[in-house]
Chains A and B, each alone.
Chain A
Amino acid sequence: MTADYKKPLPEITAESRPFWDGCRRHEFLVQRCGDCGAFQHYPRGVCARCWGRTLEWRRSAGRGRIYTFTVTHRTQARGFKDETPYALAWVELEEGVQVLGNVVGCDPARIAIDMPVRVTFEDVTPEVSLPRFEPA
């Protein structure tokens, strides 16, 4: 656990609290609409497909593939400047939804589109665990 995490942290709201509580338990939650059955990410107060309100939280297996990625070599982003190169990717989960996040646990030069990945969690503060993706 990093006591002095220098990067931006999520500003958790009542709306997003279940998602981040899930991350704290190392579970990646996606919403599923009880009305139309659609999965969605990021979580929100209505179903993005039908605007229904009967949203359920489902635990995702956290498995997917890299839809696209970028390896950043130069940045002014807080906390990331001294950790280049680092990888950012849109990951397409098996549930069919895309999730943006960092890819860790491998040389960024090895990352490729369609590479299978799985979610992992980093406990960055006593309150916050962030989802990451690593090669599956």
Chain B
Amino acid sequence: MNALIAGVHEFPDRKTARSALEIQALSARAALADAGLTPRDVDGYFTVAGSGGTGPLPIVDYLNLTPRYVDGTSVGGASFVVHAHHAAAAISQGRCRVALITYGSTARSAGVPVGTRERIAGDYLDQFEGIYGTSTVGLYGLVAQRHMHEYGTTGAQLAQIAVACRRHAGLNPAALYRDPITVEDVLRSPMISSPLHLLDCCVITDGGGAVVLVHPDMARDLPKPGVRILGASEAVAHTAAGRRDYLVSAAAQTAPRAFGEAGISHGDLDLAMVYDSFTITVLVTLEDLGFCKKGEGGRFVEGGRIELGGDLPINTDGGGLSSNHPGMRGIFLIIEAVRQLRGECGERQIENCRLALVHGTGGALGSRHSGATLVLGRA
């Protein structure tokens, strides 16, 4: 991969009267300024398909841009991590030089019950899955239940993940929820879809952000040190004709490829930004990324290992569990990793953060989902 991340911006508000397009415009403006670039420099555009299904068209129109490379890949919350992979590949091949990734959503203001509404996509599969009161929380609950059965994982172990993210959110002034919580708080919060309680589930916010990637030959002109994309990989895991092991996620496919491309091992990493739609998402992903063996995730997340000061701090912004989740979260994984690698994280800064892993998960672990991994390094 021959590309640098040159600019990032996370829209600061968790509730806003602005539209999804305006959130993207303001984020794009700030991320380009962060990269020392102007709208005229943008020649590649990446975002998810909105309700109209035309991907980047509305926002490219709104911003009055003329990209020569566009990509509207929509694979759920991991989409923006996939976009970074695609943008880096396009830049490496000379198909564009300045790629802009944006996201905006008003899920909170619109009152969208992201996790608890029926999961009906409008496609052929709905008639076999979506009509049975099947929610996103429920589909992740299916995986958590099986993990507990096979490996003895406990609700208290899952809760450790929520507790860690909340502790980190307390150090992030922009996070939605900042007051500390305990394992008991998680276990006493209302059951949504067993075994997942309310505090095992991500928040619902308004928000968005933007990421700017550039060709490395522009590095000298950047106001801040670029962040290198050292490895990238994506995958899909699905119902497999009715013969699926639902405890193995797409990360099992992406991790060997991304680690191999980057030429690093697990112990080299200073930070892991792991998609946390639900606590179980993190636990399964950490196993499949290879930080511990399958089934040992429950013990791995105990004892502060995943908190700041631990062996593998995760989600230092507070994650989707406590800071920001407007329906899709992948872009924030990249943004926080870049801020950490640049040393911009204030109270929650990891000392001398040099190497970070990003892993996005989109869709539902309990039916079909996308996974995308990036390895990011300080230039």
Contacts and interface: CB of A to CB of B under 8 A. Distances in A.
A80 interface: yes
Interface of B: 113, 116-118, 120, 124-135, 137-139, 141-146, 149, 190-196, 198, 239-244, 246, 366-367
Contacts of B130: 8
B133 A42 contact: no
A16 to B, nearest CB: 6
B116 A69 contact: no
A100 B134 contact: yes
Interface residues of A, number: 45
13 contacts: A10-B126, A15-B124, A16-B124, A42-B242, A48-B240, A68-B145, A70-B139, A72-B133, A73-B190, A89-B142, A96-B243, A113-B145, A113-B146
Interface string A67-87: 111111111111110010010
Interface in A83-111: 83, 86, 88-90, 96-102
A75 B113 CA distance: 9
A119 interface: no
Majority SS of interface residues in chain A?
Answer: loop
A69 B145 contact: yes
A25 B242 CA distance: 23
A34 B142 CA distance: 33
A119 to B, nearest CB: 13
B116 to A, nearest CB: 5
Contact of A49 (B134, B142, B196, B241): B241
B354 to A, nearest CB: 40
The 5 closest A-B pairs by CB, nearest first: A97-B242, A70-B141, A10-B127, A48-B241, A80-B133
B241 A40 contact: yes
Q: Which of A13, A96, A97 has the most CB of B within 10 A?
A: A97
B126 A11 contact: yes
Given A8-B126, A72-B138, A74-B116, A88 B145 contact: no
Interface of A: 7-13, 15-16, 20, 38-42, 48-49, 67-80, 83, 86, 88-90, 96-102, 113, 130
Given A48-B241, A49-B241, A72-B193, 11 more contacts: A8-B118, A8-B120, A15-B124, A40-B242, A68-B142, A68-B145, A69-B142, A70-B141, A75-B117, A96-B243, A101-B132
Given A38-B241, A97-B242, A97-B243, A76 B117 contact: yes
Given A8-B126, A12-B127, A97-B242, A73 B192 contact: yes
A92 B44 CA distance: 46
A88 B367 CA distance: 13
Contacts of B242: 39-42, 96-99
B179 to A, nearest CB: 22
A40 B239 CA distance: 10
A7 B246 contact: no
A19 B113 CA distance: 32
A104 B220 CA distance: 65
Nearest to B245: A67
Nearest to A74: B192
Nearest to B119: A77
Nearest to B238: A48
Contacts of A88: 132-134, 138, 142, 193
Contacts of B143: 68
B58 to A, nearest CB: 27
Contacts of B239: 42, 98
Contacts of A98: 239, 242-244
Contacts of A38: 241
B173 to A, nearest CB: 31
